[in-house]
Structure 1
Amino acid sequence: MSQQNAFDFLIGNWNVHHRYLLRRLAGCTEWIEFAGTSSMRKILDGFANIDDDDIHLPSGRYAGVSLRTYDPKSESWSIYWLDSRYPGQIFPPVHGRFVDVIGTFDGEDTHEGRAIKVRFLWSRITPTSARWEQAFSAGEGSDWETNWIMDFTRN
């Protein structure tokens, strides 16, 4: 499979079970769980894709969009996030690719005013399921804390 088609597994409609760490980079071990949906499609002749997400946090619902763009020169993807809680803001992208059916995407961002590293992992990919995980590192990437897990099942 080419890198350009690496996200084809995600095309279509999904139910999503979210597991979310209540506080990040604070030694917290309390998780909350909630439901959501996601619908993904290709755009730009397959050089990008977009998903529309409906996320039902216990504190309230919000909408989100992942925009993924493919660079054929580097054979890698950039992933951007936008959501209705912060209209007009696009979060800094993560960049990466799939190797041996695991997608790893890294970037830099801020959390509570301090610089952090961000990592997304895609794994456990089957025709009817997939897992996405987000982790933060306050250091140089040696101290990853997974803070959000999304388990996708076809609906």
Structure 2
Amino acid sequence: MHHVEPCRDFDFQRGRWHVRHRRLTARLAGCTTWEEFTGTSEQRPLLGGNGNIEDNLLHLPGGTYRAVALRSYDPASASWAIWWLDGRAPHRLDVPVIGAFEDGIGRFHADDVLDGRPVRLRFLWLGTDGAAPRWEQALSPDGGATWETNWTMDFTRA
């Protein structure tokens, strides 16, 4: 067995965080109404540093729930896969977004489905070199020509 150096891309997020969420109330529907709520997040490494788990508590206006982001790094392709597991649907992992960090920005994409129609899904990690990293989720109905950001998470240390 050979030793693989761990990828450090997500080291910035290790530990406990307070999270401020902003989420569009409807996606790809011309909606401009945002709801804001709080949450917490705790991230720890797995797979000798080439993976991590982010345990989230989200205080939605309609009720609190838990969710997990599971991430793993593939040194052969120099890319990450990120799966989302929503505690309200505990037997279903969402389609993984695949991507990498370049110039301090993490970009991750997947093909997904929204209300029966194909969409492109994008996660962005921004500000990972500072004290307040930000995650953004966006959808594209046209193969990536245009994007609608529908969820942001702003992190501050707990």
Q: Deviations over 1:79-110 (max 9, x none)?
A: 00001111200000000000010000001111
Q: Which of 18, 35, 38 is the equivalent residue of 2:38? A: 35
The CA deviation at 1:125 is 2.1
- Aligned mates of 1:21, 1:51 — CA distance in 2: 22
The CA deviation at 1:117 is 0.5
Secondary structure at 1:125 match in 2: coil
Residue 120 of structure 1: aligned partner: 123
- Aligned mates of 2:56, 2:30 — CA distance in 1: 28
- The TM-score with structure 1 as length reference comes to 0.96
The CA deviation at 1:127 is 4.6
Q: Which of 39, 44, 47 is the equivalent residue of 2:50? A: 47
Secondary structure at 1:133 match in 2: strand
- The TM-score with structure 2 as length reference comes to 0.94
- Pairing 1:4-153 to 2, within 5 Å after superposition: 4-153=7-156
Secondary structure at 2:7 match in 1: helix
Gaps of 5+ in 1: none
The CA deviation at 1:126 is 3.8
Secondary structure at 1:129 match in 2: coil
Q: Is the contact between residue 7 and residue 50 of structure 2 (CA under 8 Å) also seen in structure 1?
A: yes
Number of paired residues?
A: 154
- Aligned mates of 2:141, 2:81 — CA distance in 1: 21
Q: Is the contact between residue 3 and residue 98 of structure 1 (CA under 8 Å) also seen in structure 2?
A: no
Q: Is the contact between residue 6 and residue 49 of structure 2 (CA under 8 Å) also seen in structure 1?
A: no
Identity percentage of aligned residues = 51
Matching residue's letter, 1:6 = D
Q: Is the contact between residue 12 and residue 39 of structure 1 (CA under 8 Å) also seen in structure 2?
A: yes
Gaps of 5+ in 2: none
Q: Is the contact between residue 6 and residue 50 of structure 2 (CA under 8 Å) also seen in structure 1?
A: no
Greater strand content: 1
Secondary structure at 2:121 match in 1: strand
- Aligned mates of 1:124, 1:92 — CA distance in 2: 25
